[in-house]
């Protein structure tokens, strides 16, 4: 496939970004699967796979992620982490969330929040999800694939009985016309900006200041461990969530397959 072998209308939004290669698919199984395979081939840093429809989209914890044609934004950005970034693995998921939040604010005046560890909420409903997957060679981190799925129109929303958390979409949260490819360009530009600051003070303050449920009592479920209930007070320098379970008693929750809900 040729570099930049993707539709001209998409090129208008992405052409100025320093992407290595862009692959656009009308339909594909999963853009994350595509990038994981691509990583084992010749993919360079900043390779991008985008799909209009995914037939086998994946969410966290092996959940299905439905991507209907014309209704969603689904893409995966493949990064080849350089030396300092290899020590900053927990921050690639918030990198996606920070990028989405900033772009929604800039383009559509949507004041979204970041639900730790890797969802984006608007009006306290899920608008976007992030699935980060890594490629290792022994102990060496070879690639990070940041997969992002965003509900654009109401048709993107899963049926109510499949929802773990209430959901919304970009079009329902703004009065402005929504162009998903413009949104894609803006998210990528924000991610490139924040990638330069990965794990920095600025990065933390951007993440913390948009953290959902801060100061509120939440429940953390990570079976088979018992649920934890406590006040969400913030995140630490490793990206762990800090809960105050009793006055003066703080517990750290590590990033993993946990569910966070308001109580």
158 binds ligand BTN (CB under 6 A): no
Residue 231 pairs in a beta bridge with 217, 244
Toward ligand BTN, which CB reaches closer, 122 or 230? 122
Interface with ligand BTN (CB under 6 A), residue from 131, 183, 184, 188 = 131
Toward ligand BTN, which CB reaches closer, 93 or 186? 93
What gap in Å lies between CA 155 and CA 183, rounded to an integer? Answer: 18
43's tokens: 């993919």
255 binds ligand BTN (CB under 6 A): no
Query: Which of the residues 36 through 55 are near ligand BTN (CB under 6 A)?
Result: 54
Interface with ligand BTN (CB under 6 A), residue from 81, 129, 185, 239 = 129
210 binds ligand BTN (CB under 6 A): no
149 binds ligand BTN (CB under 6 A): yes
What is the DSSP pairing of strand 119-122 with strand 113-115?
antiparallel
Residue 260 pairs in a beta bridge with 220
227: DSSP letter: P
30 binds ligand BTN (CB under 6 A): yes
Toward ligand BTN, which CB reaches closer, 104 or 230? 104
98 binds ligand BTN (CB under 6 A): no
Q: CA of 42: how far to CAs of 2, 47, 77, in Å?
A: 13, 10, 14
57 binds ligand BTN (CB under 6 A): yes
What does 35-97 look like in DSSP terms, one character per residue?
HHHHHTTTPPTTEEEEEEEESS-B-GGG-B--B-TTTEEEEEEEE---HHHHT-GGGHHHHHH
Interface with ligand BTN (CB under 6 A), residue from 59, 90, 158, 234 = 59
Residues engaged in binding ligand BTN (CB under 6 A): 30-32, 54, 57-60, 63, 65, 67, 74-76, 119, 129-131, 147-149
């Amino acid at each position: 496939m040729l570099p930049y072998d993707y539709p001209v209308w998409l090129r208008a939004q992405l052409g100025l970004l320093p992407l290595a290669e862009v692959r656009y698919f009308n339909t594909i199984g999963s853009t994350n699967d595509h990038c994981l395979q691509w990583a084992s081939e010749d993919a360079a840093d900043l390779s991008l796979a985008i799909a209009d429809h995914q037939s086998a989209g994946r969410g966290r914890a092996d959940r299905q992620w439905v991507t209907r044609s014309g209704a969603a934004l689904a893409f995966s950005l493949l990064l080849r982490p350089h030396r300092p970034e290899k020590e900053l693995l927990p921050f690639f998921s918030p990198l996606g969330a920070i990028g989405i939040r900033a772009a929604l604010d800039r383009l559509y005046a949507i004041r979204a929040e970041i639900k730790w560890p890797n969802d984006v909420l608007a009006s306290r409903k899920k608008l976007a999800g992030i699935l980060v997957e890594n490629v290792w060679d022994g102990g060496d981190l070879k690639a990070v694939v940041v997969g992002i799925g965003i509900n654009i129109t109401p048709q993107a929303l899963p049926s109510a009985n499949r929802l773990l958390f209430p959901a919304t979409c970009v079009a329902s949260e703004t009065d402005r016309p929504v162009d998903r490819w413009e949104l894609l360009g803006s998210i990528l530009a924000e991610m490139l900006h924040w990638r330069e600051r990965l794990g920095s003070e600025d990065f933390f303050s951007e993440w913390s200041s948009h953290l959902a449920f801060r100061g509120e009592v939440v429940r953390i479920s990570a079976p088979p461990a018992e649920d934890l209930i406590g006040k969400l007070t913030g995140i630490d320098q490793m990206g762990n969530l800090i809960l105050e379970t009793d006055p003066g008693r703080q517990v750290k929750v590590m990033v993993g397959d946990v569910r966070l809900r308001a109580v």
